[in-house]
A and B are shown apart, each in its own frame.
Chain A
């Protein structure tokens, strides 16, 4: 610091002034973009908090005079049970696919065998297929197991089709763990499971956080399996919300309150643990 020459501060140089102006432009751009991203949220909140009779097209953009919480109670009465279904589904499916993904990732990253990459690429393909291409056999299969209309059929689907991404994230994560650690444990006499328990698993916490957040969000937000494999008792919240919003007679405060409820869990996860969410996002773009 002491070696820097004193900067004249009397008059801003043309360069500095230009930088200042571009700075203003920078913030103007950011504000404009933020407006685009936040306007729907403003409208969502304004509508959800309005009394049903206060909602009309002319006053769409006005903030309600008095906050009306009743819509949330109504929405909860309609989709609360589905929120419970979604929670159970997301927790169980996430836990199972994370555990399997961790073991797969460990085996693929630290016990490479001939053809491992080809096998892995074949597994990854499952992440990208349109589920429409497997939906009819999946439906038949779940039905033949007697699981149609039960949350367990949906859990099965999410665990299986979640395996590619959880395996991918853990494999890439474990690839960063130095092989020397594994070799040292081998010399100490540890085998496949010993190394997993004593070396790999204790190092896995950040990997698990990324996978759990990513999987939880994906499973919570999924719609196609939810619409196909469940019925009235077991539908998750995305399906219930689509029904709530699809009806013509309802006034808009109800679906808006429902959308807030359905969005809250994943939104909270994102706001509290966004860093890990982004890491899962970047892992999804397959860096080999």
Chain B
């Protein structure tokens, strides 16, 4: 018994350095970033890099500046960019990855070679990928030359340089839009809870939905974040970056899906065929439902990569192209080029909140099942 407890002590002692390091470097530093974001550190350039800078707390002023300030229109466009980028990046990777995995699952000759080809971009740095694709997407060269090779007029799409944007909406309408969307989702949850017979949940969700939707219709239209309308949309120049990102990361979803497909027992497919399912039915009713958890997993991993992505943008469009910028890049520039540490910390915090929305439920879910046998 004595020996056992000593061994337990060792196991804790072994973990201790890592736990302490992560406690400081992850949680401590996050806390510090939040504190810095509530100050004015760096708003006076003379003080930014001073040995003992005068730093005053300013509350939420930095966040207010980011979301409503006249000068921070770039940050707001970046938030919109990130959302569109994430959406298309995930859809592209899932679609291409699943297609490749389904094809490889039919056991073509030279499977190993195909897999190697589809996965190799994963081993590259986003900087390398960005450098290559930047050349691929040169305004008059690269991909725009491909039609010429086929005898067609050369393409003229500004893959990285276009300043056009589509699907614009007014930033002023953001509270209204958010309230409407969240309200609609809550209303849906309420309806589902009623169907499932969960009265408490139905009441809570229903009441929240009514409150939000009511606010959206009565007050929402009069809420103005900014004095003037400020349109933001999906910048077409992002398409080039999305293509490069899908090129690099779709091998990842392929590997995930392939592992999933190989994990489906042959008997299950046989049984479905015996029951009279054709190929299409087999995929629709047996295989795709079994792949759903993998899809969710991939969405979360890709989503957090996408929200953090910035080196690819840096290498492809340069740091100063505001049309394609993302908050992760802005944070680096604001903090380490302009030395506006407090504002940079605020952007970092916003980024963390976005990522946490994706990751925390995932981690909580992944470990809830195990807690019982701990």
Contact = CB atoms under 8 A, between A and B. Distances in A.
B120 A37 contact: yes
Contacts of B367: 117-118, 120-121, 288
B335 A135 contact: yes
Contacts of A270: 119-120, 122-123
Interface string B331-374: 11001100001001101110110010001101110110111001
A238 B127 contact: yes
Contacts of A112: 374
Contacts of A108: 15
B363 A134 contact: no
Give the contact-size bracket for chain A: 35 or more
A133 interface: yes
Contact of B132 (A43, A117, A134): A43
Interface in A129-175: 129-139, 141, 160-161, 163-164, 167
Given A38-B117, A163-B22, A191-B3, A134 B33 contact: yes
Interface in B10-27: 10-12, 14-15, 17-19, 21-22, 25-26
Contacts of B145: 57-58, 60-61
A81 interface: no
Contacts of B116: 271, 274
Give the contact-size bracket for chain B: 35 or more
Nearest to A159: B21
User: Main secondary structure on chain A at its contact with chain B?
Assistant: helix
Interface string B97-127: 0011001001010000011111111111111
A239 B131 CA distance: 12
Contacts of A263: 123-125, 128
B164 interface: no
B366 A137 contact: no
B26 A126 contact: yes
Contacts of A37: 117-118, 120-121, 247
Contacts of A163: 18, 21-22
Interface of B: 3, 6-8, 10-12, 14-15, 17-19, 21-22, 25-26, 28-30, 32-33, 36, 96, 99-100, 103, 106, 108, 114-128, 130-136, 138, 140-142, 145-146, 149, 247, 252, 255-256, 259, 297-298, 301, 304, 307-308, 310-311, 314-315, 318, 327-328, 331-332, 335-336, 341, 344-345, 347-349, 351-352, 355, 359-360, 362-364, 366-367, 369-371, 374
